[in-house]
Chains A and B, each alone.
Chain A
Amino acid sequence: KRALKFEVLAECSKSKARTSKISLVHATVDAPVFMPVGTQGTLKGMLPEQLKQLGCQIMLGNTYHLGNRPGPEILDEVGGLHKFMDWDRALLTDSGGFQMVSLLKLAEITEEGVEFEAPHDGSKLLLTPEKSIEIQNAIGADIIMQLDDVVHTLTTGHRVEEAMHRTIRWLDRCIAAHKKPELQNLFPIVQGGLNPELRKQCAQELIKRDVNGFAIGGLSGGEEKSAFWRMVSTSTDVLPKEKPRYLMGVGFALDLVVCVALGCDMFDCVFPTRTARFGCALVSTGQLQLKKTEFKSDFRPIDENCECSTCKKYTRAYLHTIAAHEAVAASLITVHNVCFMLNLMKSIRESILVDKFPEFVQNFMSVRFPTGEYPSWAIEALSSVNIQLSPPSST
């Protein structure tokens, strides 16, 4: 039995969008999929059961955090993160490298791995490709990521090329260290900064390995959107059609819709859950800052058409009184925001199934940008895959 089975159900006749089923050990995931991020083995104030009720099939855990606490020994002892947090559906973990580089200013990268100072006592520690896989094997996620050499998106020159080559070398060490290939799928990561040649080269090298899926990394770090989408598209052009493609760290609704058109299947982002804590609710027109006084006596739900438990019972006015003050507000808005993201993906999948994805995109853009001022990068990106946007009025 393979740890992953990928089945494309339908392809958009214009763009690179497709809808598929990704069968993993713990769940069958309908793609394109948004994966909420449960950094420390929990999703911000939600019971795993609530997440299941919303139809969530896969969520993320962060290796760097989980490796610190509770640590691989305890996770091994209990039989993995699934059991530890009582989540019986699919999980994905990152390699830990990205967080190390972004959280710890003192991290230094050598051929051996990422060297860093332990936050508590300042002792030197080393995260090698082997160590990353060892921790991820203990966590036991259905999909695990290779350790990659992460450079800041705005880095240019030799360092980018070096990182790309090192990422490939580290991939081979990760594959060799991986102890549970029958249960967990190791995804390589396409790197190469904002250089299309490097991206292409990297992807071409990665696809020679016997793996079940690929990730596109090193993006969404503050680069120009026009460069961002081109890197995504360059990568998906090389990556094989018969394997899932995961675009790391991308989860704003607009980015997501565009990148589905560019052929990506999986997405993750902390934004929907993080922003909930500050009283921000996601809606099809954008966001509602529930702390604002305009919601003081607004007795409507966040979204009249939303089926989540928050929208069925709570008014904006009540959420206004507790937003960003009372802990329960974070739970309530998180439920809605996750529901919003999952619903968005569901609509995308349904539109692809009946080959109406371009119409979906047009409608999505019209609602979000009622004045027709679509971001130019989105117009370009969509146009590159044969989706031409019209002004909102004409739809």
Chain B
Amino acid sequence: MALPYRLRSITKPFEPALEHLNRCTMRFTVQQVRNGCRLGSLTDLGPQPLATPLWMMYTLQGSAPYLTSDVLSKISDTPSVMIVPNGHVSEHYDAIQKYNKGIAAFASLPEKLVFASMQDPGVATPTGFNTNKGVAVWGRPGKTEMTVEMHTRLTEALRPCVYQAMFDGDTPKDASNKRMKKSVDRSIQFLDLCLEEKKKSEVLRDVPMFAGIVGGYNKYERARFAKEVSKRDVSGYSIEGFHHNGSKVEELKISEISDLLQISLNELSEDKPRVFTGALPPHSLLAAIKLGLDIFDLSYPYVVGERGSALTFNYVFDAQTQEQELSHSVEGEEGPYEMCLKHKRFARDFGPLKQGCECYTCVHHSRAYVHHLLEVSELLAPILLTIHNMQHYIGFTQQIHKCLRDDSFDQLQMLIESQRTLKG
């Protein structure tokens, strides 16, 4: 279903209701670079400065997956920024625009800042649908072909604190050079049009726009695109064209993209934030931080929960718990960092999802109960899993910050690596 044609005729300027949404003059400072990892700070985006590495809350149609805002509040330290993919909300443009306070307030999360993204990091993006006119984005009704103008109108309605310029990042690993060249040509064109629209837009004029950095798996195209971007006025970069979102991202080898990424980064300004969205498992996430990437999202715990699994990996330096958690055998498609509660072995296991976890789920409910809920396909199963997985992953991100500050990042990497190889 396409966006309603009405979009084109809307010219009425906005009267922003929330002040901070209108004064998004972001500043980014890198405070420390150690071993490639960057510690930084984003200021003037929201009421508080945001420390990087930063994680954005993953959302479905503006809500945390499965969680009402009430239940979401049971998770401590949820990210201040939420990622809202265009495809989820384009169908409801009219209502969001009319509401006039942005998607966060519309979805009852008024305190969250919005990062408006082109694609959904938690779900595989179908490939082969982009054209010279627009980019295919995906939501409940299926495909919407987003033109630059629609993109601008929708972004205005969403009231993001940061948004992605339109880009064509549809470059699978085996894509032809021609396809990669096309992705770059189109993305330059889209970027220029987005810059033009931004200048014209009352609402977006002061909202930082990040360029999607494309070029696929082609060194030449990566360099060509990044050079073009460096000549233009954008506030940050979103590294694109390496994957197609969804659970496949778990298999992405950061080592295989690091040289290509470096080619992009070489051409770009060092003092601008770099976003890398997608369901990165712990070892990939740490590797990505080491490559100097700054902003990520929480689609990984979502993807893990979707297969009925609870995250159980250890990120705390405590040999004892580590051993205990690693002792069980791996079954089926269970990844190395999780246990799949669909397995029969949990039917009589009345312990918490993870020993020592203080999340709402683990305090109140058992593995056996979640196993039962999964068996009978009850809605409470993904709710309880989401609470635990989000809380666990947030704990991991806090540990990353701690390790970056006290110089124990390599140790953390080793701890994660040992669990990956032991079970994987």
Q: Which A residues contact B (CB, under 8 angstroms)?
A: 40-42, 44-50, 65, 69-70, 74, 77-78, 84-86, 296-297, 299, 309-310, 313-315, 317-318, 320-322, 325-328, 330-332, 335
Contacts and interface: CB of A to CB of B under 8 A. Distances in A.
Contacts of A317: 95, 99, 106
A296 B94 CA distance: 8
A41 B369 CA distance: 9
B95 A70 contact: no
Contacts of A328: 60, 63-68
B372 A321 contact: no
Contact of A46 (B107, B108, B380): B380
A310 B70 CA distance: 9
A46 B66 CA distance: 11
A296 B95 contact: yes
Contacts of A309: 68-70
Given A47-B383, A317-B99, A328-B63, A41 B372 contact: yes
B129 to A, nearest CB: 21
Q: Determine which residue in B68, B364, B365, B366 has the highest number of CB atoms from chain A within 10 A of its CB, and name it.
A: B68
A297 B98 CA distance: 7
9 A-B pairs with the lowest CB-CB distances in the bound complex, closest first: A45-B379, A42-B380, A321-B92, A313-B108, A309-B70, A40-B376, A70-B372, A328-B63, A297-B98
7 contacts: A45-B380, A69-B372, A78-B368, A318-B107, A321-B89, A326-B61, A326-B63
A325 B348 CA distance: 33
Contacts of B106: 315, 317-318
Interface string B26-39: 00000000000000
B348 A77 contact: yes
Contact of B364 (A42, A86, A322, A327): A86
Contacts of A70: 347, 368, 372, 375
Given A47-B383, A77-B348, A317-B99, A331 B372 contact: no
Contacts of B368: 70, 74, 78, 84
Given A309-B68, A318-B108, A331-B383, A65 B376 contact: yes
Contacts of B14: none
B58 to A, nearest CB: 13
B316 interface: no
Given A42-B378, A70-B368, A331 B68 contact: yes
Nearest to A296: B95
Interface string B331-364: 0000000000000000110100000000010001
B382 interface: yes
Contacts of B383: 45, 47, 331
Nearest to A314: B108
Given A77-B348, A310-B68, A314-B108, A321 B95 contact: yes
Given A77-B348, A313-B69, A326-B63, A86 B365 contact: yes
A125 to B, nearest CB: 19
A313 B376 CA distance: 30
B68 A332 contact: yes
Given A42-B373, A314-B69, 10 more contacts: A40-B373, A74-B348, A309-B70, A315-B106, A317-B106, A318-B106, A318-B107, A318-B108, A326-B60, A328-B67
A132 B340 CA distance: 33
B133 interface: no
A317 B62 CA distance: 13
A330 B99 CA distance: 23
Nearest to B350: A78
Nearest to A85: B369
Contacts of B219: none
Q: Determine which residue in B99, B364, B376 has the highest number of CB atoms from chain A within 10 A of its CB, and name it.
A: B376
B71 interface: yes
Contacts of B380: 42, 45-47
Interface string B105-119: 011100000000000
Nearest to A65: B376
A69 B380 CA distance: 16
Contacts of B63: 322, 326, 328
A297 B99 contact: yes
B70 A44 contact: no
A313 B62 CA distance: 14
A327 B378 CA distance: 11
Contacts of A297: 94-95, 98-99
A327 B382 contact: yes
B173 interface: no
Contact of A330 (B69, B365, B372, B379): B379
B109 to A, nearest CB: 9
A65 B372 CA distance: 11
Contacts of A332: 68
B232 interface: no
Contacts of B373: 40-42
A41 B69 CA distance: 23
Contacts of A327: 65-66, 379, 382
A254 B61 CA distance: 35
B405 interface: no
A321 B157 CA distance: 15
Interface in B85-139: 89, 91-92, 94-95, 98-99, 106-108
A327 B65 CA distance: 8
B68 A40 contact: no
B3 to A, nearest CB: 14
A69 B371 CA distance: 10
A84 B369 contact: yes
A40 B372 CA distance: 9
B134 to A, nearest CB: 22
A374 B91 CA distance: 41
A369 B132 CA distance: 57
B402 interface: no
A310 B62 CA distance: 15
Contacts of A86: 364-365, 369
Interface string B46-76: 0000000000000011111111111100000
Given A310-B68, A331-B68, A320 B95 contact: yes
